[in-house]
Structure 1
């Protein structure tokens, strides 16, 4: 059940990525798009928290600190991801961001949460190869203009994702996932607010694209992160980080069906590698 919830969350993230691409094609700044994704997510969890205020226990100080750490991870992930795109390109940025399973596994290994097994090593390698093929980092002419700053920012995005993963896991264990998400997204907004274009932020609700911003927030944060945290409580951090790589597959299919983009043979192969790895991981965990 935990892995199924994570896959559903990753599917919604992929769809939200397609919606974000549509908004950016219409001229919206990427940071403004990200800001509204987090803002609508925060409103969803804040409303849920207020509606159940009498029944949801108040978070203790430790929970708030873990949730704040998760919020910093989300903010760092988005910020470094866009910096990587500006200094390199989308293919490099996405591939480097999905090195997160490596950092998650190393932290889990160092803290004794998991043991070094050939299965996890193969799964991590397969996910990274699949994402590289899907983004055409392998077999495509995408390395021109690559800079050290772009590579560093992409790696930092992956590390930030790992920080989010551990922060949310510890916060959700101690309190309601809704409370943890609300605190995390509040920190995200506080970090991102000073660096966005405030004129675009004010113009978005009055534009013809307001419905896309709402769908982006609901799919990219409101619903997906709820499924994600519920799944995180039922699956290991390493398995979650691997299964979440379904997101680029969904984003590629969205581009194919909705945006009219095409996929090269290597990209189809990458999708097969990712889905096969996710399926094998799910079957392995069910049999243990």
Structure 2
């Protein structure tokens, strides 16, 4: 029998993905206004920290904060999400929202490669073919086959791929921390690590300048949508959402970010770039549906 929880959970996952896509677009607006990607990343993370702190205060039971394993893997997750946010906005600033979002969506491919290396996942021909198709999609999307003619800079491509790799680190960290405590406790440590790292890298002077800038409400909206409310409803949604469904619904994020860039930021995508984008999205989603490499596993009730 279909309950409210099983019905609403995929909606929560889709809504979180929509918020993440919008966050990418808002990051594009802020970086185009001259704000450093690290500053944008810091505010996205620190506002997320406030949300998960409130969540933990409301649901403190079984936090696991006394467990060393939770702290270790949560710190790893924090390093991953810090890199994910920072490299994502660097890629946006150096390239476009559509390209950055799609390259970040390649994260499950990195998870596969790491899993192959650690022998956590059995490599098969279909998986290698899927990875090869993603590589072809990246070539088409970035236009790197056009030597000297591509509008996408090497920095944008490298940062976009590093954001996906960093997200893969976050996935592993969160996955191994989750059995030792509540998701809100894991996220509290992870976002705390993120906030410290990005504050040090961006500098307190730049971070404080945001508070007196007329555009500060946009930073707040970015943080609420991109890390605060979105992570809370995403984790809650996963409790009653099948991994395959979550993987498909997650396509909302890169699609939303790409549309934001094209419609509101006047970014242009050529025919081959669109083909590359679609090839990556479809292939990565198929990989995710038929595996457990995405963070779609069950958490204990939070």
Q: TM-score range by the shorter chain?
A: 0.7 to 0.9
Contact 2:63–2:184 (CA under 8 A) maintained in structure 1: no
Contact 2:28–2:89 (CA under 8 A) maintained in structure 1: no
What are the within-5 Å matches in structure 2 for residues 29-178 of structure 1?
A: 29-53=36-60, 55-59=61-65, 60-79=67-86, 100-137=107-144, 141-142=149-150, 146=154, 157-178=163-184
Contact 2:46–2:191 (CA under 8 A) maintained in structure 1: yes
Q: Distance in 2 between matches of 1:161 and 1:30?
A: 17
Alignment CA distance shift 1:204-1:65 (3 Å): same
Using the size of structure 2 for normalisation, the TM-score is 0.73
Contact 1:98–1:128 (CA under 8 A) maintained in structure 2: no
Aligned to 2:209: 203
Which whole-Å deviations, capped at 9, do the CAs of 1:173-223 have from their partners, x for residues lacking one? 332111111110000111111121423321323322222111211221113
Alignment CA distance shift 1:192-1:212 (3 Å): same
Aligned to 1:260: 266
What are the within-5 Å matches in structure 2 for residues 205-224 of structure 1?
A: 205-224=211-230
Q: Distance in 2 between matches of 1:168 and 1:79?
A: 18
Aligned to 1:191: 197
Q: Give the paired residue count.
A: 281
Alignment CA distance shift 1:170-1:7 (3 Å): farther
Alignment CA distance shift 1:128-1:212 (3 Å): farther
SS at match of 1:223: helix
Alignment CA distance shift 1:183-1:114 (3 Å): same
CA RMSD of aligned residues (A): 4.0
Alignment CA distance shift 1:193-1:178 (3 Å): same
2:35 to 16, 28, 37: 28
Alignment CA distance shift 1:156-1:134 (3 Å): closer
Bigger Cα displacement from structure 2, 122-131 vs 158-167 = 122-131
Q: Structure 1 unaligned runs (5+)? A: none
Q: Distance in 2 between matches of 1:210 and 1:67?
A: 29
SS at match of 2:120: coil
Aligned to 2:20: 13
Contact 2:24–2:257 (CA under 8 A) maintained in structure 1: yes
Q: Structure 2 unaligned runs (5+)? A: 1-5, 292-302
Q: Distance in 1 between matches of 2:141 and 2:288?
A: 21
Using the size of structure 1 for normalisation, the TM-score is 0.76
